Amino acid sequence: MSKTYESPFSLRWASDEMRYLFSQEKKFTTWRKIWLALAESEKELGLNISDDQIKELEDNVNNLDLNRAAYYEKQTRHDVMSHILAYGEQCPGAKPIIHLGATSCFVGDNTDIILIKEGLGIIRKKLLNTMNNLASFALEYKDLPTLGFTHYQPAQLVTVGKRASLWLQDLLLDLDELEFVLKNLKLRGAKGTTGTQASYLELFNGDHEKTKQLDSIIAAKLGLSDSYAVTGQTYPRKTDSRILNALSQIAQSAHKFATDLRLLQNLKEIEEPFGKKQIGSSAMAYKRNPMRSERICGLARFAINNSMNGAATASVQWFERTLDDSSNRRLSLSESFLAIDSILNLYINITEGMIVYPGVIRKRIMEELPFMATETILMTAVKRGGDRQDLHEKIRVCSMEASDNVKKHGKPNNLIELISKENGFRMTIEEIKEILKPENFTGRSSQQTEEFVNDIVLPRISEYNIQIKQVEINE
């Protein structure tokens, strides 16, 4: 047990792959890969850098000595310089050319973009897994009628699958946004201290073409297609705002789903998975609390609120750069990725095993359906020769009586029995009950769900070569 604070993301929630992505080891080995790419690119463009120096840098990329770097940082109070010195000790031959022409943001910002790209790839994979689970659920329950809710009041019937298609639609929008961010993600590149490339222009003896080529060569070596054409000392901090907004949108969708599920679990219509030995409450042994959905909501609020850090930071960057971004970004970026990773782990886990209770769903429908069916009953009676205005008034009076029976006396809804006793409807109670089939009141819910999933969602998922897998979570 640690004697110092550890983030719950590290202890319980986030996946190993996302935790490693934002680890010290990953960060600093990436710095070294970037220094290696810089040296290789400068050599290719004619600077006096030897093959032996390149090999020395390459051989020591993963040979981190974090304790040595920490020793130097105590002296220099500068994280980049401390790692340059530690790397240089391991690469004495290459020491003179490490970080040649670069500024701290060359390794810092370019590393951030590389990690962000990998992180968005992890998020996309899990988003697609979630969508695949929901698509299967939607198709399985596309025909099962359920009471719709507007304002959390009973409304026209939908189906369980149609409701799931709304959750899916949100995630599809999130996938579109994620792809936009990934498509437009760029490196800071090799821009020098204030973004003018002056140091590189000096190294290449005023050769503008080679200075421009350095940017594109480094980008290719680091796995991105392009660098920003112009920057200050950093890449535009609006990039962070865009990324955090995309993550926030996933959180918004997950929060909506989890809230719906929490309400449905209270209604005993649909529940999240519940382990055989899981305990819902230390005091109330009977309870089956929707703790996973609740955790989604809590983490989602964190990620949604965290998106404001990107907006605030982007808005206060003075001129070419100010350093109040650094400490904030170390928290907001990594923690948002860890939060969304944790949320999607839960979302995948829940959608792998949601429990549906058709009997409870039908019981609730039949408590409300008589009120919703009165227009159909009225039209049928009129077609049989009834007086529309007279019958409308009788339905109104019967509805008020039935409503009082339900609300004031806790009795079953007896609207159909009351109507069947009225003169003028010319319908038996059996004929009226035949109208009350829930399937008659769901419109195109089933067809919409099938068309949406089969024609839009599944083809979109199939565009990606992803592994569909189950996710284990820590309770």
The catalytic residue among 50, 225, 281, 462 is 281
Integer CA distances (angstroms), 413 to 189, 403, 418, in order:
70, 7, 10
Using CA atoms, how far apart are residues 291 and 272, in angstroms rounded to an integer?
9
- Let me know if 99 is a catalytic residue: no
Nearest alpha carbon to residue 39 among 9, 8, 66, 60: 60
Nearest alpha carbon to residue 130 among 179, 163, 182, 167: 167
Q: What is the sign of the dihedral through the CA atoms of 151, 157, 158 and 163?
A: positive
Phi (first) and psi of residue 102, to 5 degrees = -95, 165
Give the bridge partners for 148, in sequence order: 155
Q: What is the sign of the dihedral through the CA atoms of 346, 351, 357 and 358?
A: positive
Using CA atoms, how far apart are residues 108 and 97, in angstroms rounded to an integer?
18
Contact by Cβ (8 Å): 346, 268: no
Using CA atoms, how far apart are residues 403 and 418, in angstroms rounded to an integer?
12
Residue type, 87: Y
Contact by Cβ (8 Å): 62, 29: yes
Tokens 């005091």 — which residue? 283
Contact by Cβ (8 Å): 289, 258: no
Helix (H, G, I), strand (E, B) or coil at 156: strand
The catalytic residue among 151, 282, 327, 409 is 151
Contacts for 74 with CB less than 8 Å, ≥ 6 apart: none
Catalytic annotation, residues = 151, 281
